[in-house]
Amino acid sequence: MKLYKQIFKDLGKDKFFLFSSIILAIIYVVASLYLPILAGDCVDLIVEKGNVNFEKIFQIFIIMGLLLVIAAIAQYLLNLCNNHLIYKYAASLRKRTFEKLERLPLKYLDSHPSGDILSRLSSDIEVVNDGLLIGMNQLFIGVFTIVMTLVFMFILNYIMAIVVVVLTPLSLFAARFIAKNINRYFYQQASYRGEQIAFIEEMMNNQKVVRAFNYEDKSEEDFSIITDKLEDATRKSSFFSALPNPVTRFVNALIYAVIILIGALLTIYNLGFSVGLLMTFLSFASKYATPFNDISSVITELENALTCLKRVYELLDEEDEVSDKGNKNLEAVEGNISLNDVSFSYDVNQKLIEHLSLNVKKGQKIALVGPTGCGKTTFINLLMRFYDVNKGSISVDGHNIKAITRDSLRRNYGMVLQDTYLRYGTIEENITMGDNFTHEQVVEAAKMSSCDHFISLLKDGYNTLIDENGGDFSQGQKQLIAICRVMLRLPPMLILDEATSSIDTRTEIKIQQAFNILMKNKTSFIVAHRLSTIKDADIILVMKDGNVIESGTHQDLLKKKGFYYELYNSQFVNEDS
C-alpha cells in the first residue's frame, strides 16, 4: 500500500497531465464506442432495394467523421500525456537513484553486489517505465471501455447486454485457467535454459583450455544432455504458451454464435432489435472482450513494474552517509597522522582491527605488508574515511577526522590503487577528473609520472578517447595514469598501492620512480608486494588476517625473526643453494 501511495504522490506532482490523461481517456473511449452504434444505425437505414435513406445516412456520416477525428486526436494527446507523465517519472527516479548512489556510505556499496545496484538503476527503472506506460495506456482505457460498453449496451438493449456480460468473461477464465497450468512448463524451461547458459558461458570462456586438453568430445557429450532436457521443455512450453490465443478465439467464436442466435431471435420476434443493432452488438462484444484479454498481460507487466519499483524505492530509502555539514575544513595540512586505540570490523561478529595506535609524523613513510586479504584495504578505508572507526579515533594534524569535512580530508590525500579506474572520455579528462588544470600542467605531470611518452604516441595524444575498460593500456600504464592524476595535485598525504608481479619490470621501475617523486617530503602509506622497495620505510606494519601483528623498521623486524623474517627470506629461496 505504501508503494501505491508513493507512486501516486510522485505521479501526482504533474497534476495537469494526470488530469488531462483521465479526461482524454474518457473522450476517446466514448467517441470510439459511439462509432459502431452509428454504423449500426446506418445499416438499419439500408433496408432493401429502393429503400435506402441516403439523406439520413449522410447526416450520420458527418457525425461519424467528426467523432473519428475527435477520437483520433484524443487518443494521440492521451498518449503524449502518458508519455510525459511516465518518462518524466522514470527520469526523476533515475536522478534520485543516482544521487543516492553518490551519497550512500561505502559500507552499503561494498556489501551489495554492484550488479544488483546497477540493475536497480537501469533495468528496474526501465521495467517500471514500460510497465507503467502500458498500464496507463491500456489499463485505464480498458477499464473505461468495459464500463462504457456496458452502459451503451444496456441503453441499446438490456437482454443482449446481459447475454454479452455473462458470456464474455468466459474467454478470460479460459485464458486464466491455461496460464495457471502452463506456468510450471515455463519455469522448467527457464531453469534448463539457465543451466545451459551457464554451461555455454563457461565453455566459451574456457575454449582455449578445451583446445589444449582435447576436451571437445566430452564437452559436446555433456552439452547434449542439457540440450535434450531443454528441447523437451521448450517443446512443451512453446506448445502450451501458444494455447491461450486459439482457446480465447474459440470461446469468442462461441459467444459470437450465441449473440447472433439471440439477436436473430430478438429481431424475428420484434423485441426492439434490428440487423444494425446486431452488427453493433457483435462489435461491442469484441470491444468488451479485448480489454479482458489484454488485462491479464497488462497486470503481469504492472506486477513486474511494481516489484521493480519496490526495489528502486528500497534503495532510495537507504540511509545516506553521516552528514558532515557544519564540520570544519581541513586547511594547510602538515601531514601528522595519529591513530588512537582504533578498533574496527565490517561485521560485529568478526573482529578485525583491534586497539591499533600509531603515530605518523610529517614526511614519514609507512609500509603495509602482508599476504592478500590481510586487511591492507581496510586500513586505506579508515584513513580516507570511506568507513568510520568503531572505537578510538584517527586524527590529522590533531583534528579528529570525524569533525572535519570529508571533502577537505580526501582532498589532502593522493590515492593510487592497483586497479586503476578509467572511464569513458579523453585521457586528459581522465587525468584532470574534471578539475581545472591547463593542458601544460597536465603534460608536466604526465612527464613526471612517465606517461607522457606513451600518451603522445597515441593517435590523438591527450585527446585520445578511451573506453570504460581503459582501452588498450596495460595494467602498468593504467597505473601510471593514476599516478599522473595525483602528480597533478601533489597532496601532502599519500596512499600508494604497489604494482603486482603481473606488471613487467621496466614499467615497474617507472612506477617506482614516479612514486619516489610523489613521496618527497610527503607523509605516505605504501601497500607493498615486494619487500625490496620498503626497506627504508620509517615504520613497517606487518598485517595478517586484518590485524597488525608486527611493526617496526626493517632491521627491527628482521631481528624479531617473526612473520616478516619468514616472508623476507622466502623471497630468496633458491633450490640450488
Partner 1 sequence: MKRIFMYLSRTKKEAILAPLFKMLEVVFELLVPVIVSLIINKGINEGGQSDLKFIFLMCGILFAFGILGLLSSVTAQYFAAVASSKLQSALRTDLLKKINSLEYKELDDVGTASLITRMSSDVNQVTTGVNMALRLLLRSPIVIIGAVIVAFFFSNLAGITFLITVPVLFLLIFLVMVFTIPLFKKSQQKLDVVVRLSRENLNGVRVIRAFNKQEAEIEKFNKTNDKLAKYQLFVGKISNIINPLTFALINIFIIALIYVGALQVDVGSLENGDVVALYNLASQILVEMVKFATLLVTMSKSLASNKRIEQIFSIKSNLKHLDVIDKINTDDLFVFDNVSMSYNGQEMALNNISFKVKKGQMIGIIGGTGSGKTTLVNLIPHFYDISEGKIYYKGLNLLNYDEKTLRFEIAVVPQKSQLFKGTIRDNLKLGNLAADDETLYNALKISQGYDFVMAKDGGLSYPVEQEGRNFSGGQKQRLTIARALVKQSDILILDDSSSALDFKTESELRKGLKKLNKTIFIVSQRTASLRACDQIIVLDKGHMAGLGTHEELLKSSQIYREIYFSQYKEEKDETL
Residue 234 or 307: which CB sits closer to partner 1?
234
For residues 485 and 128, what is the distance between their CA atoms, to the nearest angstrom? 39
Q: Which one among 282, 333, 451, 483 touches partner 1, defined by CB under 8 A?
A: 282
Residues near 74 by beta carbon (within 8 Å), at least 6 away in sequence: 24, 27, 28, 31
Q: Which one among 16, 87, 158, 177 touches partner 1, defined by CB under 8 A?
A: 87
Least Cβ distance, residue 16 to partner 1 (angstroms)? 15
Q: Does residue 164 interact with partner 1 by CB under 8 A?
A: no
Of 384-403, which residues contact partner 1 (CB under 8 A)? 384, 386
Least Cβ distance, residue 261 to partner 1 (angstroms)? 4
Cα separations in angstroms, 542 against 220, 374, 526, 548: 50, 9, 12, 6
Q: Does residue 268 interact with partner 1 by CB under 8 A?
A: yes
Q: Which one among 254, 271, 322, 517 touches partner 1, defined by CB under 8 A?
A: 254
Q: What are phi and psi of 412, to 5 degrees?
A: -90, 0
Least Cβ distance, residue 443 to partner 1 (angstroms)? 20
Query: DSSP string spanning 368-380?
Result: EE-STTSSHHHHH
Report strand pairing: 413-416 vs 493-497. parallel
Q: Which grid coordinates belong to 264?
A: 436473430
Q: Which one among 23, 80, 458, 549 touches partner 1, defined by CB under 8 A?
A: 80
Q: Which grid coordinates belong to 441?
A: 600542467
Is 336 in contact with 397 (CB distance < 8 Å)? yes
Of 491-520, which residues contact partner 1 (CB under 8 A)? 500-509
Least Cβ distance, residue 381 to partner 1 (angstroms)? 9
Per-residue x/- track, 413-442, partner 1 (CB under 8 A): x-x-x---x-xx--------xxx-------
Cα separations in angstroms, 371 against 386, 543, 554, 574: 22, 8, 17, 21
Residue in this structure with the C-alpha cell 578509467, named with its chain if needed: 422
Q: Which grid coordinates belong to 99?
A: 544521487
Q: Which one among 172, 179, 243, 458 touches partner 1, defined by CB under 8 A?
A: 243
Q: Does residue 371 interact with partner 1 by CB under 8 A?
A: yes
Q: Which grid coordinates belong to 1?
A: 500500500
Of 525-544, which residues contact partner 1 (CB under 8 A)? 530, 532, 535
Of 297-326, which residues contact partner 1 (CB under 8 A)? none
Q: Which grid coordinates belong to 61?
A: 456520416
Select the span of 307-315, 347-355, 361-369, 562-570 touching partner 1 (CB under 8 A): 562-570
Q: Does residue 150 interact with partner 1 by CB under 8 A?
A: no
Q: Which grid coordinates belong to 320?
A: 545516506
Residue 361 or 495: which CB sits closer to partner 1?
495
**Largest separation between any pair of C-alpha atoms in the chain:** 122
Q: Does residue 207 interact with partner 1 by CB under 8 A?
A: yes
Nearest alpha-carbon partner for 533 in 511, 566, 557, 552: 511
Residue 340 or 417: which CB sits closer to partner 1?
417
